Structure 1
Amino acid sequence: MQYDIDINGPYKELFLYVRELLISFEDMSEKRTSHITSFHCEGSGICYIKTHDTGLTIAMFKGAYLKDEHTLFSGLGKTIRHMYMANKKDIKKDILLEYFQNAIVYNIEKEEKKLMAKLYKKNKVSY
């Protein structure tokens, strides 16, 4: 399992540091698969983390829709954007927390829009 590789590899401290930041959010859940460790909150995915030979990758599932005020994102896919770290100093703790929080807020807003649309359709009056 990738989680076992991550916690036993050369970047285990970095992996555990970012993991702790993520699970510090209320209602955050962690899912471990054979390839990644992903995190979900407010009904949808936030990101996955995975170590590589050169450090840690943080892949924000909806990164294309989030503000990137610190120009940390890379990638041109439809939705996922990646951040890379080789040590804790690469991205400040408060900046990481800001990006994670923005992803959670995005999920909340998306769910609220779904509920509002459902209520609108339910209460729509036909003329």
Structure 2
Amino acid sequence: MEKTVLSIKDASQVLKLLGDQTRLTIMGLLKNNECCVCEFVEILDMSQPAISQHLRKLRDAGLVKEQRKGHWMFYSLNQEDDSFSLISEVLEHIPDQREKLIQLEQSGKRICCD
């Protein structure tokens, strides 16, 4: 994938969104996975409305995309967004979030919305 150079304004907006610990964790969880809102609720121990607000901000900025599966909404990184290379670089500098998903799976709650 060709690297896109963002304007200072666009890069600032992306970095501002990623500057929030919850949103950065969500993005880290989505790095190699697709996740349902209910999984974020469980992992982050936050209310569904609070998680939805964070996801709305990320979606509105084009950083994540959503896909409805039955009654549930699943989220993934938007690899087609111009800021994807910046996001990928940032995510390389944070701890891997896979362990949280493994723990969720071991507790039988990985896809608790099925």
Higher relative contact order (CA 8 A, sep 6+): 2
TM-score (norm 1): 0.28
TM-score (norm 2): 0.30
Instruction: Work out which of the two has the higher radius of gyration on C-alpha atoms and give 1 or 2.
Output: 1
